[in-house]
A and B are shown apart, each in its own frame.
Chain A
Amino acid sequence: MARSNRPPKLLRNLSAKIAAIPMIATAIVIFVGCTAWTVAHSFTGSRLLPKLNWVGTKQYDRLWDANRWLQSVENIVIYGVCSLIFSLVIGFLLAALLDQKIRFENTFRTIFLYPFALSFIVTGLVWQWVLNPEFGIEKIVQGWGFEGFAFAPLQNQDWVIYGVLIAGLWQGTGFVMCLMLAGLRGIDEDIWKAARVDGIPMWKTYIFIVIPMMKGVLITALVIIAAGIVKVYDLVVAQTGGGPGIASEVPAKYVYDYMFKNQNLGQGFAASTVMLLTVLIILIPWAYLEFGRRKRG
């Protein structure tokens, strides 16, 4: 068999290329193509149907003038910051407790993690019911004799986003705990022994030795939680529907409502482009660090 008999370059390894067509198509058409399409159309005056009548940055001007959008952004910032802090702290604490060679570890882990198997719709509806002022927590505490006790976050414009946060944390902290536990288990037993020999108290060992060693896990958890926060949608739809008024609106819901209900596509495109930018701001430094480290290492 002479060299000249080999197939041309493009046809070599043909089966693999054919098998990879779905992946290539998804990457190019959906992830690159559709994203570019939306970004481009965010500079048009599209309303009921997408049109290419350029209007510059008008959609963005309107977006940042809209009360509902500003409220959405404020909400997602509050929700995001609280959710990041609390899920990292609670997740770490639970993992540290489970890591003390306790009995029934599996039972506890199963209990902490099961909400993660449930959908945001189920999560939102359950907490809507538990936080119901007529029958839920408020009523019970009042029944104990505290007549003036008020706890109805979902009916209060200032507190509603924290009501959503309680539900979100219930659903997601178990997962963060699992990540952290994997990180803790990856730490060499000798480090603990050395710290004990040196007489360093346990909490100091955690804060100054163990946590810095878990940087990789922490960053992964951070990126996953952050990427999840930007997508928050179902939870709000189920738990509050964005109310009372517009008090618990979030960006993802703004996008959906403008695209599919208010027939104002341009606004939806502009809002989703802003969401994309936010994700890129989180993602690019992380990817830079991650891939940079790999190249060097």
Chain B
Amino acid sequence: MGELAPGTMTGPRGPKPRKRLSARNIMLYGTLIVAALYYLLPLYVMVVTSLKGMPEIRLGNVFAPPLEITFEPWVKAWSSACTGLTCEGLSSGFWNSVQILIPSVVVSIAIASVNGYALANWKFRGSEMFFTILLFGAFIPYQVMIYPIVIILRELGLFSSLGGLVLVHTIFGMPILTLLFRNYFASLPEELFKAARVDGAGFWGIFFKVMMPMSLPIFVVAIILQVTGIWNDFLFGVIYAGTQNYPMTVQLNNIVNSVQGVKEYNVNMAATILTGLVPLVVYFVSGKLFVRGIAAGAVKG
């Protein structure tokens, strides 16, 4: 009944058109916008403060937009802010963090992906038990394990070094990453694995030639997870890195909470933005994958 004869229509058909400005919509969007403002406020305050000069900060309040925009605080935060020990700014911390980040991400993902692959496709007696222990380990407070790890690293000659910190990040990233890879590999069709075995491929052959090429998305998720996690780490950096290798978060805290000298709020906020920039860029660029990465962290157990 595509065309109705005129007169047979008794009323309007189809869904009732919604009014754009109904009371419900005003409430709905009003609440969401207020909430969004609350979440955006600190970001706005950081940016605004970092662009002001100190006299202007002392006169005004944190929300006032800058009258005279200056980039000096940014330059100072990067190259000459003082931590109480030295006045080299955040740049050295940035490069330390990069030096920590790259090997930690590569090593932890390499090891965890092979672990997950072994757990998914090459189960052996006891493999599930070790995996369960590993997952429970993810919930043990780090404070319980930090001191014995100091002793282990000292025995290995890795305490206060980049290598030691990379090892620690690999260890503590292992539960969640292994889970991530295990679940992903287990979800791939088993026929692929069997066919490769029939063709005579072994453990490593299947991993490199069949599994890895199919797993790009999960590797990206793992990289996002690790880059943000390791960049944001403070506790391990302050304990295991040693003064000369302090990551950016530790140096940032030392700069802002340093008790010496006059507080330069604009420099502090510029330094804070600089430190948050890497994870923020990762977040905005990766979009949905970031959500998937953290959701992967959520389905533990």
Contacts and interface: CB of A to CB of B under 8 A. Distances in A.
Interface of A: 12-13, 15-17, 19-20, 22-24, 26-35, 37-39, 50, 94, 97-98, 100, 102, 108-122, 125-130, 132, 135-137, 139-140, 143, 170, 174-175, 178-179, 182, 220-221, 223-224, 227, 230-231, 233-234, 237-238, 241, 251-252, 255-256, 259-260, 265, 268-269, 271-273, 275-276, 279, 283, 287, 290
Given A116-B294, A121-B253, A272 B141 contact: yes
B273 to A, nearest CB: 8
24 contacts: A17-B124, A20-B119, A30-B145, A31-B136, A35-B145, A38-B145, A50-B147, A110-B287, A111-B40, A117-B279, A118-B276, A122-B249, A126-B46, A129-B45, A129-B269, A135-B60, A135-B61, A139-B61, A182-B295, A223-B300, A231-B143, A260-B239, A272-B144, A275-B144
Q: Chain B interface residue count: which class?
A: 35 or more
A44 B256 CA distance: 38
Nearest to A234: B234
Nearest to A253: B143
A20 B235 CA distance: 27
Contacts of A111: 36, 39-40
A113 B292 CA distance: 13
B151 to A, nearest CB: 7
Q: Which 4 A-B pairs have the closest CB atoms?
A: A31-B137, A119-B232, A16-B122, A15-B203
A32 B38 CA distance: 43
B202 interface: yes
Nearest to B250: A121
A172 to B, nearest CB: 11
- Name B's interface SS: helix
A283 B152 CA distance: 28
A125 B171 contact: no
A281 to B, nearest CB: 12
B141 A252 contact: yes
Contact of B115 (A22, A38, A265): A22
B243 interface: no
Contacts of A98: 32
Interface string B137-151: 101111111111101
B235 A30 contact: no
Contacts of B253: 121, 125, 237-238
A143 B63 CA distance: 12
B143 A130 contact: no
Given A114-B43, A136-B61, A170-B38, 20 more contacts: A15-B203, A16-B118, A23-B134, A27-B133, A27-B137, A30-B149, A33-B148, A38-B145, A97-B32, A112-B35, A117-B290, A119-B233, A121-B253, A122-B232, A125-B253, A220-B299, A224-B298, A252-B141, A272-B141, A276-B144
Contacts of A230: 141
B245 interface: no
Given A27-B137, A175-B294, A287-B301, A35 B269 contact: no
Contact of A31 (B45, B58, B133, B249): B133
Contacts of A135: 57-58, 60-62, 265
B244 interface: no
B174 interface: yes
Given A31-B145, A129-B45, A102 B115 contact: no
Nearest to B147: A259
Of the candidates B131, B149, B234, the one having the most CB atoms from chain A within 10 angstroms of its own CB is B234
A29 B46 CA distance: 43
Given A34-B144, A121-B252, A132 B127 contact: no
